[in-house]
Amino acid sequence: MAKIKPSKGAPYARILGVGGYRPTRVVPNEVILETIDSSDEWIRSRSGIETRHWAGPDETVAAMSIEAAGKAIADAGIAAEQIGAVVVSTVSHFSQTPAVATEIADKLGTDKAAAFDISAGCAGFGYGLTLAKGIVVEGSAEYVLVIGVERLSDLTDLEDRATAFLFGDGAGAVVVGPSQEPAIGPTVWGSEGDKAGTIKQTVPWDRFAIGDVSELPLDSAGNIKFPAITQEGQAVFRWAVFEMAKVAQQALEAAGISSDDLDVFIPHQANVRIIDSMVKTLKLPEHVTVARDIRTTGNTSAASIPLAMERLLATGEAKSGDTALVIGFGAGLVYAATVVTLP
C-alpha cells in the first residue's frame, strides 16, 4: 500500500491584513421612516442604528469585494498573485452559479487561485476564517483571502416595521497567512436548525417560476414583493443574548484565556442591545474595547465583523497585536466564535 506524502503547511495561521468597503450612499433613519410607522428615537433605542450604507448600481457584490480585498492584500504586504484561495461568504449574490469568488479572484489578479462561495449568514466570516486557517496549516495555499460581503438592501422589505431599519451593505476582507505562533484560536461553531424559521427569506426563488402568484406577498400598492429577509425579533434576541454568550465563553476557554486577557471584543453587528447584553453577561473588563460599528453601518451580515475590525484599527481604538474575541451568529441558526490576534 502506497503512503501518501504528508502536507507541509505552516505551523499556525494568522490574520495578516484587513480591508473594508462601505458604499458611498449614507442612509439616515429619516429615509426608513418614509415607508414604516416608527420614529428615529425608536429605531435608535431598539437597534442603536443611526445610519447605514446602501449600494448603488455599480457597487455590486463583486465590486465591493474587490475594493475591500485590495485594501486587505496591501495591508498584508503581499501581492495578489500570492493568494492561493479566495473564500467569499454572502447571501446576496443572486446568481446561483458560478461562484462570485471566481470573478473576484480573476479581477484581483490572482494566479488561478481556488475560489468558492459559502452561505452561513451572519456567521459566514467566522466560517470562512476557520476554513482559511485550515487551508494555510494544511498547506494547500500559503495565503487565503476571506471576504464577507452583502447587498442586504436588495433583500430588505421597506414596509416591514421589524426589519426595514436593520440592514446595510458593504464588504470586509482579511488575508490569512502563515504564522510561527498561534494567532487564530480554535473555533467554537455549530447550528440549531430547529430554530431556522426565526430568520429566513420570505419566499423561495422557485416560487416565481411556478406562475401562481396567489400566495406571494404583495406591497401596499398591490405589487408582488421581491423576496426579503424576515425574522422573529424577540426570539432571535433571546437566543443571541443567552446562548451566544455561552459560545463566546467557550471560545475564550478553547483559546486558553479569560476575559481579563482580552483587548477587543468584535461581535456580529446585529443590534447594539444584543452587544451590550453580551458584554454584561460575559463580564468583560472596562479595558476591553467593544465594536459598535452598527451605529453607522447597520447589520451587514457576513461583512459586519471584518468591517468593524477594520474601523477599530483605522481609528486607533484597537492596535496591531491586540487579542480579540470575534463571534458571528444568525440565520440557520448558525454561529462561530474564535479568538484572534489582530493584524
Edge-first strand listing for the sheet containing 188-191: 188-191, 334-341, 323-330, 264-267, 289-290
**Contact of 269 with 335, CB cutoff 8 Å:** no
CA distances from 80 to 140, 250, 309 (A): 16, 35, 21
Point out the catalytic residue in the list 93, 268, 271, 287.
Answer: 268
Of 136, 146, 143, 87, the C-alpha closest to 115 is 87
Candidate list 93, 122, 223, 287, residue with the active-site label: 122
The 3-state DSSP class for residue 46 equals helix
Query: Measured between alpha carbons, how far is 48 from 302 in angstroms, rounded to an integer?
Result: 19
Name the residue type at position 306: P
CA distance 21 to 15: 18
Separation CA 216–CA 254 (nearest Å): 46
Interatomic CA distance for residues 91 and 89, integer angstroms: 7
Asked if 117 contacts 67 with a C-beta cutoff of 8 angstroms, the reply is: no
Cell representation of residue 134:
485550515
Nearest to 18 by CA among 79, 86, 72, 77: 72
DSSP secondary structure of 256-306: T--GGG-SEEEE--S-HHHHHHHHHHHT--TTSEE--THHHH-B-GGGHHH
Active site residue 268: yes
From the CB of residue 250, how many other CB atoms can be counted at a distance below 10 Å? 13
144 closest CA partner among 115, 124, 121 = 115
Residues designated catalytic: 122, 268, 299
